[in-house]
Amino acid sequence: MLIGSLLIGTFIIAILLGGSLLLWQAWRNQRDASRKTSFVSNVSHELKTPLTTIRMYAELLGEGKIHEAEKQRRYLQTIIKESQRLTRLVNNVLDFSRLEQGRRNYQQEPLELKQLLQDLLESQQPRLRDADIRLDLQLPETACAVKSDRDALEQIILNLLDNAVKYAAVGEKIQLQLSCSDQQLTLRLRDWGPGIPSAHKQRIFDKFHRVDNSLTTRQQGSGLGLSIARQLAQGLGGELNYLPMQDGSCFELLLPREGAK
């Protein structure tokens, strides 16, 4: 009798556990499917906006109706800026697919980090000026040589910078700080924007994850930038972390000096 009840009890528990597992799996599949759908629609939207702008300004210039040199210059600058935005997005989608398929290879070339940062940030100046954001770049006095993958490093920094520009309030400061020890280099990107709610601090590195608030609704995004940046950092043998701040956000990239795995 007792054994019979035990068997029935065990049977019911097994059914309940199995059922919960199936429900959980179905919920996860549905969540992944809906994240993918919103990813496709977000990416399409992100591609469409700069393309529409580029086409509009190119048509205006092509029609020859814009005679003022200053206006022509502004329209051309917008075309360049929007094409750069398209390039960043396409690079992210390409990186994402290579990382997903385990096909991302890392080069090991000698790099001087101070120079790399200065060149990269120089190319971002027009965007920062437009957003009225002041970049405070803090570099070590001595050179910081490393063997690493230039494209991966640039993509990580650009993704972090993109977010700081998108989510930090207009007219704010961003701080980029590099420090180098014999073993490792540390790069911190700090902004004084709205920060990240504590419930999302780990999940922001999940692919497709976007914090569901008015800020994210206002700003376009695919939810891929941080996931790619972290995977690239790990591919280089380092790590990318979010450091909780009282005000704003800070992302920390740690990399070994000897370079990519």
Question: Where do contacts with ligand ADP occur on this chain (CB under 6 A)?
Answer: 159, 163-164, 167, 191, 193-196, 204, 209-211, 216, 221-227, 249
196 or 240: CB nearest ligand ADP: 196
Question: Between the CA of residue 64 and those of 61, 67, 69, 83, 120, what are the distances in Å?
Answer: 5, 7, 12, 21, 34
148 or 231: CB nearest ligand ADP: 231
Question: CB of 21: closest distance to ligand ADP in angstroms?
Answer: 29
- Best CA proximity match to 151, nearest among 205, 106, 98: 106
CA-to-CA distance for 5 and 103, rounded, in angstroms?
54
Question: CB of 155: closest distance to ligand ADP in angstroms?
Answer: 12
Helices (H), 173-213: none
Question: CB of 204: closest distance to ligand ADP in angstroms?
Answer: 4
223 or 238: CB nearest ligand ADP: 223
DSSP state, 213? S
Question: CB of 46: closest distance to ligand ADP in angstroms?
Answer: 8
Parallel, antiparallel or unpaired: strands 249-256 and 109-112: unpaired
DSSP state, 169? P
149 or 191: CB nearest ligand ADP: 191
